[in-house]
């Protein structure tokens, strides 16, 4: 499944005012047509990274569309339940957010997911929205991060600008991966790095393909010595903290060190990169200006 492991983040960082509100983040405007933008994320129970990633993307969308009330929803029911049970933080599901917008009298809805690919979570979002489309005058839906060749190339540029590779370092990116056919996005991204002149970048996944075995093969072929290890995920949550950078023997950091590499892990989700956030804004603008029907 296209899902992230769940582990509740540290309690000491709660609350974040921007994340703790229920319903619209910005009040509904009283004008001729009530408009809203709904930011849909998989979600995370790690509040430290939630604020820096999902919260930052939401703020970027809010600033780009000041005439629209901002709503949020998560697609992971498990995360929604954990946040409510353990932290008393209520986040709407997509269905709840859509119902809330109808109750608030919203007529024009722009929906922007923060998903990376058209995977299971994106499909689930679309299925949950569909029954309520007729309740609004206009519903437009933006693309996930990687939807076109332009998106792959832009993602490569933004990551390389952000990574700050040191001399002789190779960048290893940990993606989530999925059983969905759109897992093909990860080897495509890996090839795009190579095609754009970055043979010192290797993309792998924790739950799809390429796996760590393929990553190790490429590192050996390229005679790498030093590794910069970063997540290719919107948030730096459980996978990044444990599966990627953890001290357990089966973490990517431990496996790479055992293989003789010097490893520098960086816990920074894609949502922390300004250029990545702007890609989501661009997708929302494209959905608004060039609707698909």
Burial class of residue 16 in the structure, from the number of CB atoms within 10 Å of its CB (0-12 exposed, 13-18 middle, 19+ buried): middle
Q: Which domain holds residue 197?
A: 149-268
Told to judge if 176 belongs to the known catalytic residues of this protein, a careful annotator would answer: yes
Based on the fold, state whether residues 15 and 155 are members of the same structural domain: no
Of the chain, the percentage scoring pLDDT greater than 90 comes to 86
Label residue 48 by pLDDT band (50, 70, 90): confident
- Distance of alpha carbon 109 from alpha carbon 80, whole angstroms: 22
Alpha carbon of 35 to those of 22, 72, 105, 125: distances in Å? 18, 14, 9, 20
The reply to whether omega before 210 is within 30° of 0 (cis) is yes
- Distance of alpha carbon 252 from alpha carbon 265, whole angstroms: 10
pLDDT per position as a tens digit, 118-169: 999 999 999 999 999 999 999 999 999 999 999 999 999 999 999 999 999 9
Would residue 3 count as lying in a domain? no
Would residue 21 count as lying in a domain? yes
Q: Collapsing DSSP states into helix, strand and coil, what is residue 111?
A: strand
pLDDT at 5: 36
Task: Say if CB 29 and CB 107 are below 8 A apart.
Answer: no
Q: What is the count of structural domains for the chain?
A: 2
CATH of the domain at 255: 3.40.50.1400
> Which residue in 46, 118, 176, 180 is the catalytic one?
176
Based on the fold, state whether residues 220 and 279 are members of the same structural domain: no
Based on the fold, state whether residues 33 and 142 are members of the same structural domain: yes
- Tell me how far apart the terminal alpha carbons of the chain are, to the nearest angstrom: 29
Alpha carbon of 182 to those of 87, 158, 173, 178, 188: distances in Å? 33, 22, 18, 8, 10
Label residue 253 by pLDDT band (50, 70, 90): very high
Based on the fold, state whether residues 173 and 221 are members of the same structural domain: yes
- What's the token pair of residue 35? 């408009």
Based on the fold, state whether residues 184 and 99 are members of the same structural domain: no
Based on the fold, state whether residues 15 and 142 are members of the same structural domain: yes
Based on the fold, state whether residues 129 and 36 are members of the same structural domain: yes
Would residue 2 count as lying in a domain? no
């Amino acid at each position: 499944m296209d899902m992230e492991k769940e582990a509740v983040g540290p309690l000491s960082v709660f609350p974040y005012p921007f994340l703790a509100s229920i319903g619209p983040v910005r009040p509904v405007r009283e004008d001729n047509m009530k408009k809203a933008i709904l930011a849909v994320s998989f979600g995370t129970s790690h509040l430290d990274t939630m604020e820096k990633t999902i919260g930052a993307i939401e703020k970027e969308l809010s600033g780009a569309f000041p005439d629209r009330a901002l709503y949020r929803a998560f697609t992971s029911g498990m995360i929604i339940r954990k946040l409510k049970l353990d932290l008393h933080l209520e986040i709407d599901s997509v269905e709840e957010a859509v119902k809330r917008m109808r109750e608030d009298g919203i007529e024009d809805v722009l929906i922007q997911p923060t998903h990376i690919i058209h995977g299971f979570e994106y499909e689930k979002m679309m299925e949950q929205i569909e029954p309520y489309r007729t309740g609004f005058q206009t519903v437009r839906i933006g693309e996930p991060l990687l939807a076109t060749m332009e998106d792959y190339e832009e993602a490569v540029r933004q990551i390389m600008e952000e990574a700050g590779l040191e001399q002789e370092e190779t960048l290893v990116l940990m993606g989530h991966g999925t059983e969905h056919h759109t897992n093909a996005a990860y080897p495509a991204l890996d090839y795009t790095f190579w095609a754009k002149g970055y043979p010192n970048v290797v993309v792998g996944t924790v739950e799809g393909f390429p796996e760590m075995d393929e990553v190790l093969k490429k590192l050996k072929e390229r005679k790498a010595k030093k590794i910069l290890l970063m997540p290719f995920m919107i948030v730096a949550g459980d996978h990044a903290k444990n599966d990627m950078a953890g001290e357990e023997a089966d973490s990517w950091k431990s496996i790479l060190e055992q293989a003789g590499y010097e490893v520098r892990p960086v816990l920074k989700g894609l949502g922390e990169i300004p250029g990545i956030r702007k890609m989501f804004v661009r997708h929302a603008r494209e959905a608004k200006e060039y609707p698909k029907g």
